[in-house]
Structure 1
């Protein structure tokens, strides 16, 4: 099926690639169907694109590529919501706020997007450690940043 996207124009997606966010995302509780689309082959970035609303798309980064020591625990409630059985079925992303210069862009480490790739379920999780992981952490100043 083809969908219109916020950043990439019209793209073809497969039904089996659709992710369900049962509670939507903060601010968008009724939008539940998304797909991950590759953005740049040279950077660990993807677009989380709604298949229900063309204008709703978020640029995500694989946070561990930019901050090697990034780590968090998934609480039991989220494990249940995401039907997590094995750690290797889970991938986490961080929402980016893009600036004119990529190095000035920020990454939301406080509220990662967690996806169960096996069950095709996703959820944005707000971490309890707000001192360690800020909402807007500049990519250019991250420890262990990718070159």
Structure 2
């Protein structure tokens, strides 16, 4: 199927690349189908692009290279909703707010996107904690990104 994207033009994708957010993402309840597009070969960032609304795309990243001690418990109801059978199926991404540079960009650790990589079901989970908030500075230096990417 052909998808029109905000940053990558038209892409040909297969059905197994579509990530389903049954109830959408908060603020976008009607947009339920997305694809994840890497932002370059060695980049820690990707674009979570709606396949139905070209204007809707989020820059996301795996939070763990930036915050090695980042942790939260996935509740049982979410494990059931996403049909997670084991922890190896779980992928976590966080939405990035781009600044003028990487040094001024932030990541939302309070509301991670939890994905089941086996069946491509996803849900944004808002953490009920004071430990994380919506604007954490990206902590990894550029040298580490190149070495790990």
User: What is the TM-score normalised by the length of structure 2?
Assistant: 0.91
Q: Is 1:106 aligned with 2:106?
A: yes
Q: Name which of structure 1's ranges 102-111 and 11-20 shifts more when overlaid on structure 2.
A: 11-20
Cα deviation for residue 127 of structure 1 reads 0.8
Cα distance per residue 1:34-90 (max 9 Å; x no partner):
111111222211111111111111000110011111111101111111111110001
Cα distance in 1 between the residues matched to 2:79 and 2:127 = 14
1:125 corresponding residue in structure 2: 125
Cα distance in 2 between the residues matched to 1:98 and 1:11 = 24
Cα deviation for residue 33 of structure 1 reads 0.7
Cα distance in 2 between the residues matched to 1:132 and 1:40 = 31
Q: Secondary structure at the match of 1:40?
A: coil
Cα distance in 2 between the residues matched to 1:74 and 1:87 = 10
2:137 corresponding residue in structure 1: 138
What aligned pairs does 1:81-92 form with structure 2 within 5 A after superposition?
Answer: 81-92=81-92
1:77 corresponding residue in structure 2: 77
Cα distance per residue 1:90-119 (max 9 Å; x no partner):
100000000111111000000001100101
Q: Is 1:96 aligned with 2:96?
A: yes
Q: Which runs of 5+ in 1 are unaligned?
A: none
Aligned Cα RMSD in Å? Answer: 1.0
Cα distance in 2 between the residues matched to 1:43 and 1:37 = 11
Q: Aligned residue pairs: how many?
A: 142
Moved runs in structure 1, 4+ residues, more than 4 A? none
